[in-house]
Amino acid sequence: METLDRAMSARPNSSTSPELSLTEEERRTIIHQSLDRHYRDMLDQPAPFLGNKSPRAAIRTAKGRAGVIDWLKMLENHAANYAGQNEAMATYDFTWLWEELGLIGLRR
Protein backbone atom coordinates (compact mmCIF):
# COMPACT_ATOMS: atom_id res chain seq x y z
CA MET A 1 0.00 0.00 0.00
CA GLU A 2 1.31 3.42 -0.97
CA THR A 3 1.61 6.01 1.76
CA LEU A 4 0.37 9.57 1.34
CA ASP A 5 3.94 10.88 1.55
CA ARG A 6 5.09 8.54 -1.22
CA ALA A 7 2.13 9.44 -3.44
CA MET A 8 2.75 13.15 -2.92
CA SER A 9 6.46 12.86 -3.67
CA ALA A 10 5.73 10.93 -6.88
CA ARG A 11 3.43 13.66 -8.21
CA PRO A 12 4.83 16.31 -10.50
CA ASN A 13 5.50 19.62 -8.79
CA SER A 14 2.01 21.09 -8.36
CA SER A 15 3.29 24.45 -7.17
CA THR A 16 3.58 25.62 -10.75
CA SER A 17 0.34 25.88 -12.63
CA PRO A 18 0.32 25.86 -16.41
CA GLU A 19 -0.57 29.20 -17.93
CA LEU A 20 -3.96 29.21 -19.59
CA SER A 21 -4.27 31.12 -22.80
CA LEU A 22 -7.62 32.85 -22.35
CA THR A 23 -8.85 36.08 -23.77
CA GLU A 24 -10.24 38.63 -21.36
CA GLU A 25 -13.73 37.88 -22.69
CA GLU A 26 -13.30 34.12 -22.09
CA ARG A 27 -12.02 34.79 -18.57
CA ARG A 28 -14.94 37.12 -17.84
CA THR A 29 -17.43 34.55 -19.18
CA ILE A 30 -16.01 31.79 -16.99
CA ILE A 31 -16.07 33.98 -13.89
CA HIS A 32 -19.60 35.26 -14.57
CA GLN A 33 -20.91 31.73 -15.17
CA SER A 34 -19.30 30.57 -11.93
CA LEU A 35 -20.90 33.45 -10.04
CA ASP A 36 -24.27 32.68 -11.66
CA ARG A 37 -24.08 29.08 -10.40
CA HIS A 38 -22.88 30.14 -6.95
CA TYR A 39 -25.62 32.72 -6.39
CA ARG A 40 -28.34 30.50 -7.92
CA ASP A 41 -27.41 27.84 -5.37
CA MET A 42 -27.38 30.40 -2.55
CA LEU A 43 -30.99 31.41 -3.25
CA ASP A 44 -32.21 28.13 -1.75
CA GLN A 45 -29.62 27.65 0.99
CA PRO A 46 -30.13 28.71 4.61
CA ALA A 47 -28.08 31.79 5.37
CA PRO A 48 -27.03 32.76 8.90
CA PHE A 49 -27.38 36.46 8.05
CA LEU A 50 -31.07 35.80 7.24
CA GLY A 51 -31.88 33.88 10.42
CA ASN A 52 -30.96 30.58 8.73
CA LYS A 53 -33.59 31.09 6.06
CA SER A 54 -32.85 30.98 2.37
CA PRO A 55 -33.18 34.27 0.48
CA ARG A 56 -36.28 32.84 -1.26
CA ALA A 57 -37.87 32.07 2.09
CA ALA A 58 -36.72 35.30 3.73
CA ILE A 59 -38.41 37.58 1.17
CA ARG A 60 -41.82 36.43 2.45
CA THR A 61 -41.60 38.82 5.40
CA ALA A 62 -40.81 42.53 5.54
CA LYS A 63 -37.83 41.93 7.84
CA GLY A 64 -36.53 39.14 5.63
CA ARG A 65 -36.98 41.21 2.49
CA ALA A 66 -34.96 44.02 4.07
CA GLY A 67 -32.21 41.54 4.92
CA VAL A 68 -32.13 40.17 1.38
CA ILE A 69 -32.01 43.69 -0.06
CA ASP A 70 -29.11 44.54 2.25
CA TRP A 71 -27.34 41.34 1.11
CA LEU A 72 -27.85 42.15 -2.58
CA LYS A 73 -26.58 45.70 -2.09
CA MET A 74 -23.55 44.39 -0.22
CA LEU A 75 -22.80 41.98 -3.10
CA GLU A 76 -23.04 44.79 -5.64
CA ASN A 77 -20.89 47.15 -3.59
CA HIS A 78 -18.29 44.46 -2.98
CA ALA A 79 -18.11 43.66 -6.71
CA ALA A 80 -17.80 47.36 -7.56
CA ASN A 81 -14.72 47.56 -5.32
CA TYR A 82 -12.92 45.35 -7.85
CA ALA A 83 -12.99 48.08 -10.52
CA GLY A 84 -9.49 48.55 -11.87
CA GLN A 85 -8.26 45.31 -10.25
CA ASN A 86 -10.48 42.52 -11.53
CA GLU A 87 -12.82 43.72 -14.24
CA ALA A 88 -14.52 40.33 -14.53
CA MET A 89 -15.72 40.69 -10.94
CA ALA A 90 -16.43 44.40 -11.23
CA THR A 91 -18.64 43.96 -14.30
CA TYR A 92 -20.82 41.17 -12.93
CA ASP A 93 -24.50 42.10 -13.31
CA PHE A 94 -26.63 41.26 -10.28
CA THR A 95 -29.89 42.34 -11.94
CA TRP A 96 -31.03 38.76 -12.47
CA LEU A 97 -30.90 38.11 -8.70
CA TRP A 98 -33.14 41.09 -7.98
CA GLU A 99 -35.55 39.91 -10.68
CA GLU A 100 -35.45 36.26 -9.55
CA LEU A 101 -36.42 37.32 -6.04
CA GLY A 102 -39.11 39.74 -7.22
CA LEU A 103 -37.27 42.71 -5.73
CA ILE A 104 -36.30 44.60 -8.88
CA GLY A 105 -38.75 47.40 -8.04
CA LEU A 106 -36.88 47.97 -4.75
CA ARG A 107 -33.44 48.24 -6.32
CA ARG A 108 -31.86 51.68 -6.09
Which pLDDT score, from 0 to 100, does residue 1 have? 47
Give 80's contacts (C-beta < 8 A, 6+ positions apart): 90
Examine residue 75 and state whether it is found in any structural domain, yes or no.
yes
* Cα 70 from Cα 47, distance rounded (Å): 13
Examine residue 18 and state whether it is found in any structural domain, yes or no.
no
pLDDT in tens, 67-107: 999 999 999 999 999 888 888 888 999 999 999 999 999 99
SS3 44: coil
Domains in the chain, number: 1
pTM, entire model: 0.76
Domain of 46 in residue numbering reads as 23-106
Examine residue 57 and state whether it is found in any structural domain, yes or no.
yes
Mean pLDDT of the residues in the chain = 87
SS3 106: helix
Give 22's contacts (C-beta < 8 A, 6+ positions apart): 30
Of residues 43 and 1, more confidently modeled: 43
Examine residue 69 and state whether it is found in any structural domain, yes or no.
yes
Q: What percent of the chain has pLDDT over 70?
A: 82
Examine residue 17 and state whether it is found in any structural domain, yes or no.
no
